[in-house]
Structure 1
Amino acid sequence: METLSYLGQGFGVALSPYNLFTALCGTLIGTVVGLLPGLGPINGVALLLPVAFALGLPPESALILLAAVYLGCEYGGRISSILLNIPGEASAVMTTLDGYPLACQGKAGVALSLSAWSSFIGGLIATIGVVLFAPLLASWAVAFGPAEYFVLMVFAITCLAGMAGNKPLKTAIAALLGLFLSCVGIDSNSGVYRFTFGSLGLADGIQFVVLVLGLFSISEILVLLERTHHGQKAIQASGRMLFNLQEGASVLATNLRSGALGFCLGILPGAGATLASAVVYMSEKRLAHKDNKFGKGDLRGLAAPETANSASACGSMVPMLTLGVPGSGTTAVMLGALTLYNITPGPLLFQNQPDIVWGLIASLFIANIMLILMNVPMIKVFTRILAVPYWALVPAIAIVTTIGVYAVHATTFDLFLMIAIGIFGYLMRKMDFPLSAILLGFILGGLMEQNLRRALSISNGDLGILFASPITWGVWSMIALMVALPFWRAWRARSKQAREQALTGNA
């Protein structure tokens, strides 16, 4: 009852006209920022933080604004992923796997509406989880040390190959290539130049924006040009802009599972929506068994990462508020907002300044409702992107991509590197290598190295720390199952083929 009383107090703060307008502005800005490739929630929140402080917003209003931008980016990132096969941010990579094939089948409106609904469900589940389980889940998250995080990320990489269907080897190679690319640049510990080949432009490593826009945007431009050359027609959106009850019912179980798992992964400090969307997608693909069309336009493959993205974003608020530890890169920026206002996050924050905490939690409910009401009517507008002819669409993508990359460091080297990566990505697509595996390996590579080094520092170089806790043993067991899965599938396929041949011979 005390929790409900505090939540009611929070709604009193969040429903004030000033904070409602603040949340509306944040959701709108976040959706636009998420739509633009290469920006993402971290940049959106970081850009608005000094603005909020300069405008003299009260601390609860500033946090509501930044949280609304964060959730809006998770919604907006799906738009370019589904329509153009260009993820607006890292967590939207998994959305491209089934979202873009659905758009190619003329179901862009259905995909956009279903993804918006899935994001709403994920945000709703996670926000309820924040209200009910924040203190308990925060204490559980503390049990994950560097060793546990490293093993969890190894599991995420292993899942890619284990769930890859008929091309696990290509997926594993792509993921390893992503891990290699994450090692390029100066080693932060020793100062040694790694794989820079004497180029100063690579000293800071390959920027995420350069890699994602090169792999997806530039390669997509080349694919569009190839389609135009061969006389292929542009993708068309069907007349139906909303999913029907049957389609919604078919993904309801996926929404519920993905929301719960995404929230649990979101509360792990540093895990973030990218890891959550990858793990959830692979889990749902495994549960789908024989009837899955994952990677070819399966509605469950679209609903799972979208639900997990929003759930993880809300879940990452838990360690920030209860422990003062950022649950993701974006909440790290929000943590900076608290320090600007001389607010110390932690367990005492719930007692000393409940208006701020519960006002923020209540605003998560409101922001999710605003986003679903804002995004669904705009679907028809979004799908008109598909009506743009290739001769206009290709230059527009090229211009936005170039500006997005040049804005990071303002160097022409990044532009040439992006083009080279794009050509490489195009060749990888022609050879049927999954680009999402490269990107996921790249994203997790830095985190894996960082956590491995921390774990080895704690144990004085003893690798036994990676097997020292029940959590690591449990995750290693799952990794072993994932490694064995492709071999088991191959054995089962050979056995089935042998039985069919035997039956044919007997006939």
Structure 2
Amino acid sequence: MDILEGLLHGLEVALSVQNLLFVLLGVTVGMMVGVLPGLGPAPTVALLIPLTFTLDGPTAIILLAGVYYGAMYGGTITSVLLRIPGEAASVVSTMDGHAMARQGQAGKALGLAAIGSFAGGLFATACLILFSPTLADFALGFGSPEYAVLALLGLFLVAYTSAGTTLKSLVAIGIGLLVASVGPDPITASPRWTLGVPDLLGGFEIVAIIMGVFGLSELLVNITESRRPTSVTRTIGRVLPTGRDIADSAGAVGRGSVIGTALGLIPGGGGVLASLVSYGVERRVSKQPEEFGSGVPQAVSGPETANNAASISTFIPLLTLGFPPNGVLAVIFGALLIQGVTPGPELIGDHPDIFWGVVVSMVIGNLVLLVMNIPLLPVFVKIAQIPPGTMATITVAILVIGAYSINGNPFDVAVMIGAGLVGYLLRKLGIPPAPLVLAFILGPIFETNFRRSLVVSDGNITVFASSPVAVALLVVLGVVIVTAVTGRLWRMRSARPGHAGEERARRLP
């Protein structure tokens, strides 16, 4: 089945009345989940798994996928209006997005985010259509060395692009790697660092970690600093951006689409890494980087485009390689297994209704989000009118219920609370919490594939350069490291007393 035949088949599947209703249900639930701070798509998708037992394969995945990419935009709303990221991927929007809201430009920020998310979603879906069949054929030659280098590249990228200094990002990454080491050894399965606690035998639950690090820690910051999470103007201003606004953000949207689509392929990447990298890129290409954090539109449109593009492109490794790159896709991986479908290179040929039906539904879902969100954006300003005490109570209730609903285990609630306290401490020390979560995801992927590669090669380190793909990834990794080091040395040189005078003297005739 070629691409055109696949798309026509996907249209037939996605345009059925049942699947159209579940597209609408999925993106609506996703958007509302994104609006509610601390909940996020992963536990919601997990909660909806029992509902899929009575659905056929395409409908089940269409619903769960809609919740995921719908939550990417929903998280923007609370990030802009409340400075609380409803979804981890929207954490960077709390900076410039909320700053724009304080300036009476909340509508502009949310409108640009909606348009960027739509553009990023379409671009990533086009890449999913064009490249997935080829990648599925190529997947059989992709092994542990390539996955190990990919994970290592992701760690270096997040350290290089995160807010704050690289050293502080490395501290957060170190904590994340340490936390990720708790649980079964990936090779021998023997328990590590469990301290005799049975609930630690499987390691920490990633969703509970994310809820605590992002949701609870932000709530604690608001409470301890007596900062109203609803400190935004009561009016959001013009929602539909002007032509000039769109033109000014076109470059950021284009870069965000490419960055998000590319980083969605990286194990552990997804929307969080994509938005962080996009923000870092926009700050570096800007002629006025010092203004970032004070309400720069490109700092909203770029990351929001990237996180939505990444939420779509994460399906590429899942559907073609059988590899879930993040927690949400791991849940969807389980949903596919429940349907009797094994994700991997054979999925496109064996289950074209699932692959092509889901792909076409993503186009429809992104269009629904754009049409539904821009006219209804003024409604969400009512969230900002909730009293701080009420908001705190609601947020805590959602966090506790969400953490408990993951496995029905009170221990996950305790993990969420502990992660929240750690995240709060990191914030007070000026250490960005996002790298911790990314390292928690990427760490086991790197360790498993690194050690597996060494076992297979009898300890020969050259195994990581044994294929053209691995070599190419190592080259990219080297470029990232060299860029980071030279950039640091240049900034240190520029900060030296008398450096500015030396530069002026060289320019004199």
* Same fold flag (TM > 0.5): yes
Hey, what does 2:264 align to over in structure 1?
A: 266
Hey, what does 2:362 align to over in structure 1?
A: 364
Superposed, which structure 2 residues align to 1:223-372 within 5 Å? 223-228=221-226, 234-242=231-239, 243-267=241-265, 271-288=269-286, 290-291=288-289, 293-326=291-324, 328-342=326-340, 350=348, 354-372=352-370
Residues of 1 paired with 2:162 and 2:296: CA distance?
15
2:39–2:211 CA contact under 8 A, matched in 1: no
Residues of 1 paired with 2:72 and 2:494: CA distance?
39
Hey, what does 1:29 align to over in structure 2?
A: 29
Superposed, which structure 2 residues align to 1:420-431 within 5 Å? 420-431=418-429
Query: Relative to 1, partners in 2 of residues 1:113 and 1:455: Cα closer, same or farther, differing over 3 Å?
Result: farther
Structure 2 counterpart of 1:484, one-letter code: V
Hey, what does 1:154 align to over in structure 2?
A: 152
1:471 aligns with 2:472: yes
1:381-438 deviations in whole A, cap 9, x for unaligned? 2222222232322222222223223334555555555445434433432332222233
Residues of 2 paired with 1:500 and 1:14: CA distance?
65
2:314–2:329 CA contact under 8 A, matched in 1: yes
Structure 2 counterpart of 1:489, one-letter code: W
1:491 aligns with 2:488: no
Report the alpha carbon displacement of residue 124 of structure 1 after superposing the two structures with TM. 0.6
Structure 1 counterpart of 2:475, one-letter code: G
CA-based RMSD of the aligned residues comes to 3.7
Hey, what does 1:451 align to over in structure 2?
A: 449
Residues of 2 paired with 1:78 and 1:111: CA distance?
9
Structure 1 counterpart of 2:63, one-letter code: L
Residues of 1 paired with 2:486 and 2:325: CA distance?
31
Report the alpha carbon displacement of residue 154 of structure 1 after superposing the two structures with TM. 2.8
Report the alpha carbon displacement of residue 168 of structure 1 after superposing the two structures with TM. 2.8
1:226-255 deviations in whole A, cap 9, x for unaligned? 4438x9993335441523333322221222
1:449-489 deviations in whole A, cap 9, x for unaligned? 22322332332333333344422331232232244144323
Report the alpha carbon displacement of residue 115 of structure 1 after superposing the two structures with TM. 2.0
1:129 aligns with 2:137: no
Residues of 2 paired with 1:335 and 1:48: CA distance?
13
2:162–2:277 CA contact under 8 A, matched in 1: no
1:109–1:241 CA contact under 8 A, matched in 2: yes
1:108–1:383 CA contact under 8 A, matched in 2: no
Report the alpha carbon displacement of residue 38 of structure 1 after superposing the two structures with TM. 4.8
Residues of 1 paired with 2:320 and 2:422: CA distance?
44
Hey, what does 1:404 align to over in structure 2?
A: 402
Match of 1:215 among 201, 213, 216: 213
Structure 2 counterpart of 1:223, one-letter code: V
2:135–2:320 CA contact under 8 A, matched in 1: no
Residues of 1 paired with 2:484 and 2:196: CA distance?
37
Residues of 2 paired with 1:58 and 1:30: CA distance?
20
Hey, what does 1:43 align to over in structure 2?
A: 43
Report the alpha carbon displacement of residue 141 of structure 1 after superposing the two structures with TM. 5.9
SS in structure 2 of the partner of residue 28 of structure 1:
helix
Report the alpha carbon displacement of residue 446 of structure 1 after superposing the two structures with TM. 2.6
TM-score with structure 2 setting the length: 0.84
Hey, what does 2:73 align to over in structure 1?
A: 75
2:180–2:444 CA contact under 8 A, matched in 1: yes
Report the alpha carbon displacement of residue 274 of structure 1 after superposing the two structures with TM. 3.8
Report the alpha carbon displacement of residue 181 of structure 1 after superposing the two structures with TM. 2.3
Hey, what does 2:382 align to over in structure 1?
A: 384
The alignment covers a number of residue pairs equal to: 502
Query: Relative to 1, partners in 2 of residues 1:269 and 1:445: Cα closer, same or farther, differing over 3 Å?
Result: closer
Query: Relative to 1, partners in 2 of residues 1:232 and 1:437: Cα closer, same or farther, differing over 3 Å?
Result: closer
Residues of 1 paired with 2:390 and 2:486: CA distance?
45
Residues of 2 paired with 1:466 and 1:478: CA distance?
17
Hey, what does 1:481 align to over in structure 2?
A: 482
1:136-179 deviations in whole A, cap 9, x for unaligned? 34446666533333333333333344345773322222222222
Q: Which runs of 5+ in 2 are unaligned?
A: none
Residues of 2 paired with 1:308 and 1:161: CA distance?
18
Q: Which runs of 5+ in 1 are unaligned?
A: none
Report the alpha carbon displacement of residue 119 of structure 1 after superposing the two structures with TM. 1.5
SS in structure 2 of the partner of residue 378 of structure 1:
helix
Residues of 1 paired with 2:344 and 2:499: CA distance?
62
Residues of 2 paired with 1:455 and 1:359: CA distance?
36
2:213–2:419 CA contact under 8 A, matched in 1: yes
SS in structure 2 of the partner of residue 377 of structure 1:
helix
Hey, what does 1:500 align to over in structure 2?
A: 501
Report the alpha carbon displacement of residue 100 of structure 1 after superposing the two structures with TM. 4.1
Moved more, 327-336 or 71-80: 327-336
Moved more, 480-489 or 95-104: 95-104
Residues of 2 paired with 1:272 and 1:384: CA distance?
30
1:208-233 deviations in whole A, cap 9, x for unaligned? 3443333333333333234438x999
SS in structure 1 of the partner of residue 375 of structure 2:
coil
Residues of 2 paired with 1:396 and 1:159: CA distance?
35
Report the alpha carbon displacement of residue 125 of structure 1 after superposing the two structures with TM. 0.7
Query: Relative to 1, partners in 2 of residues 1:345 and 1:308: Cα closer, same or farther, differing over 3 Å?
Result: same
Query: Relative to 1, partners in 2 of residues 1:233 and 1:124: Cα closer, same or farther, differing over 3 Å?
Result: closer
Structure 1 counterpart of 2:23, one-letter code: A
1:63-120 deviations in whole A, cap 9, x for unaligned? 3333323322333333334444444444344444544444455443333222222211
Hey, what does 1:10 align to over in structure 2?
A: 10
Structure 1 counterpart of 2:176, one-letter code: G
Moved more, 444-453 or 77-86: 77-86
2:264–2:311 CA contact under 8 A, matched in 1: yes
2:318–2:333 CA contact under 8 A, matched in 1: yes
Residues of 2 paired with 1:76 and 1:169: CA distance?
32
